[in-house]
Amino acid sequence: MTGPDRQLLEVRLAQKDLVGILALPVGSVSEFEFTYDPAWLENGYPVSPHLPFNEDIPPRNVRNFLENLIPEGKGLDELLENTTIARANVFALVGRIGTETAGALSFTAPGFQQEASSFRVITDEEMGQRLQNAGLITYWDGRTRLSVAGVQDKLNILEIGDQFGLGEGELCSNTIYKFESGRVPNIVVNEAFTMALARRTLDQVATTRITTFGGVRTLIVDRFDRRYLLDENRVSRRHVIDGCQATNLPSAYKYERQNGDGPDARMYRDGVSLPKLAAVQTNDQLTYHRQLVQWVVFNVLNRNFDAHGKNISFFVGRRGLQLTPFYDLVNIEALYREAEARQDAEALSAQGRDQSTPRFYAMSIGEYEAGTPGNFEDPMTAFALADFANTLGISLERMQLLTLDVINRITQALPYALKEVEEMGLTKAERAHVELCKEIVEAACAEMMEEAKQIPSMKDFL
């Protein structure tokens, strides 16, 4: 079908090089077609393992890739509120935010002319007023500015020197501002502390810092897929995909138990899992698997129950896939304990998980046989870690070495991470929350240390 029978969007890299054409028949919301441009086939690379060169690409693969570019939660609600676009119209939603998706791809109508580069400065006062008035934080100057997935209130922001604001043309965002809401107090300092700890423990972790607008605590995350070039007055962009895109799953499958953690749903385990992530082919599998193990162990030690498939990503280029710096690392246990102390049911469910079972990890560690409920709960035993190692194809001795290394690094890093966030200027409540995070991590390290000692002895049980 051609002409008026199809809707078309041009897919470009950094709004310049034509990657291909996205098409959708009129009257359909799911029969997507994606065709690479001949020049891109000659000189480019597949933008996803599931959108390959020189093969028929199933419509489901295209839809899954696109759907993961769309914001979740309040950001999506605000996007829909200011348009007549239906929630199921992925094509239109991607086109709506198409020049500022995660990474480097843009989706625009044929003949679209890139806007001239401009920088619209936002003052501290303007941002504070917007937050205090509970306005649409993602809707500025007649358009929606959010394009990164997630349920927390976020805003894509361009920082140039000591100014921040909204960019157009070649001046796209290079940071993400994450705002604290009354539903989950202390989440900003929680993430700042956990990320500071991770930067001293894992190979690569996004840079973060704390600020305040109108009394609202805000975490600023430097985007690893963007870099402002002062001499050229533009932002360079690097293509990335998240774990859902890398495993060809929709965002609704970002948790391994895609239907929830309830008793009747636990056996459904078709979402993003550690075996699925381990099977992703990168340009260095040995390094990737080591980093994956370290990420898993770190999340267990920090009781990060929300390390799902959209909280891990990959750079994509001519050399293939490479793990990006880690991000969105939070001590969920500390947030739950404070919520329980307040007896605040709304805060308990604010992370998007089943309130009745809040302490299940997003992915099972070990126990990967079909028809089993998996191993989603603490304590993570020596057998669970050995089973995970067996799935990855690494020796139990190496699994023990990696686990002990993360424990030792975290233990040594705790005082330095604490000092780093204290220098950001903490309130009394925030200081107490960071201490709670520290206590949780210390107890988890002691617990896992005993299990790690037994990992090699699990060989006979596998």
Residue 99 corresponds to which tokens in the numbers above?
A: 């020049």
Using the CB atoms, write b or e for 32-46: b if 16+ within 10 Å: bbbebbeebeeebeb
Contact 107, 95 (CB under 8 A): yes
Residue 319 corresponds to which tokens in the numbers above?
A: 């050399």
For the chain, the first-to-last Cα distance in angstroms comes to 54
Instruction: List Cα–Cα distances, 182 to 52, 138, 152, 192, 425, in angstroms.
Output: 44, 18, 12, 18, 20
Residue among 319, 225, 251 nearest 281 (CA): 319
Angle of helix 285-301 relative to helix 382-392, nearest 10 degrees, comes to 160
Query: How, if at all, do strands 154-160 and 163-168 pair?
Result: antiparallel
Query: How, if at all, do strands 33-36 and 17-25 pair?
Result: antiparallel
The total of other beta-carbon atoms located within 10 Å of residue 416's CB is 12
Element (H, E) at 79: helix 73-81
Task: Identify any residues that bridge with 379 across adjacent strands, giving them in sequence order.
Answer: none
Return the ∠ at Cα 18 (arms to 16 and 22), rounded to 5°: 125
Element (H, E) at 349: helix 345-349
Label residue 85 left, alpha or beta by phi (over 0 means left) and psi (-120 to 50 means alpha): beta
**Before 379, cis peptide (omega within 30)?**
yes
Residue 103 corresponds to which tokens in the numbers above?
A: 């990474």
Element (H, E) at 211: strand 208-213
Residue with tokens 């201490």: 435
Cα–chain-centroid distance for residue 74?
16
Residue among 346, 354, 347, 311 nearest 329 (CA): 311
Task: Identify any residues that bridge with 437 across adjacent strands, giving them in sequence order.
Answer: none
Cα–chain-centroid distance for residue 284?
21
CA dist., res. 237 & res. 251, Å (int): 23
Provide the annotated active-site residues: 306
